[in-house]
Amino acid sequence: MAGSVVILFDFDRTLIEDDSDRWVITNMGLKELFHQFQHALPWNSLMDRMLEELYTQGKTIDEIAECLKGIPFHPHVIAVIKSAHALGCDLKVVSDSNLFYIKTILEHNGVYNCFSEITTNPALVDGGRLRIFPYHDAASSHGCDLCPPNLCKGRVIQQIRSSISENESKRIIYVGDGMNDFCPTLKLVAGDCVVPRKNFPLWGRILKNSQLVKAKVYEWEDSEDLARILLKLINSKSIEDQISLSTTQS
């Protein structure tokens, strides 16, 4: 049964075809300021500084949202999200973007309600200005050398795992592309699956450290490829569960 499948998606260059932070920087005229500060500030603080500049320029939150709605979101990915949700899979986003960007894009493409949880950097409106804050409190380090200080995706995987009852047979499928997707990959166990984007940092890291990865690896190149692989994995788990149920009842 597909209800025994939990699919965790990275967001930038995985669910969507671009990087949401860089999309705003490029399309709202912030490239020069970005290059000025990119080596001086942590990424979260840098993005907050970019949004401060937009506010100073008189740009509204609605204008930022309209910019985000232009990010490419492949129809095949939208279709597989809807299919997986309809089949009963538990879909979640784990991303180093921010909640405003992710929610805006998912709502615009009609799939926001398909996700049960979005773990990302919080965003809030402060006097008409959009603010970005780290997911993990900067004052208390998560202690992971593989992840940026604002978000350890591996810790998120552990929290999800701990919420699953010992009596439940759940398969976690993790889909990602970036270097910060390697830590959660290492938290997967036998029976889980990791789906790295080919020729992206996560894929390369897995190739170099395959002995550390317990999950099965299914690489993908484009959105059509990703949709095909996910449906195959969902269906295979459903068949396994049906066989297990039949064996138990016989």
CB 2 within 8 Å of CB 84: yes
DSSP string, 183-245: HHHHT--BTBEEEEBTTSHHHHHHHHTGGG--SEE--B-SHHHHHHHHHHHHHHHHHHHHHHH
Cβ–Cβ under 8 Å, residues 59 and 68: no
> Residue 59's CB: how many other CB atoms inside 10 A?
18
Task: Show which residues are catalytic.
Answer: 10, 12
| Residue 53 maps to a domain | no
What residue numbers bound the domain in which 209 lies? 2-17+73-121+136-249
Residue 129 lies in a domain: no
- In the beta sheet, which residues pair with residue 63? none
19 annotated ligand binder: no
Q: Is 156 a domain residue?
A: yes
Residues 6+ apart with CB under 8 A from 231: 80, 83, 84
Whether residue 175 lies inside any domain: the answer is: yes
Is there a domain that residue 189 lies in? yes
Q: Residue 72 in contact with residue 17, Cβ under 8 Å?
A: yes
The annotation status of 145 as a binding-site residue, yes or no, is no
Query: pLDDT by residue for the chain (250 residues), tens digit each?
Result: 566 899 999 999 999 999 999 999 999 999 999 999 999 998 889 999 999 999 999 999 999 999 999 999 999 999 999 999 999 999 999 999 999 999 999 999 999 999 999 999 999 999 889 999 998 776 556 678 888 888 899 999 999 988 887 767 789 999 999 999 999 999 999 999 999 999 999 999 999 999 999 999 999 999 999 999 999 999 886 545 543 434 444 4
What is the reported pTM? 0.91
Q: Looking at the domain assignment, is residue 23 inside a domain?
A: no
CATH code, 159 = 3.40.50.1000
Look at the chain and report how many structural domains it folds into: 1
Coil, strand, or helix at residue 156? helix
Is the residue at 93 inside a domain? yes
21 appears as a binding residue in the annotation: yes
Is residue 163 situated within a structural domain? yes
177 is in an annotated binding site: yes
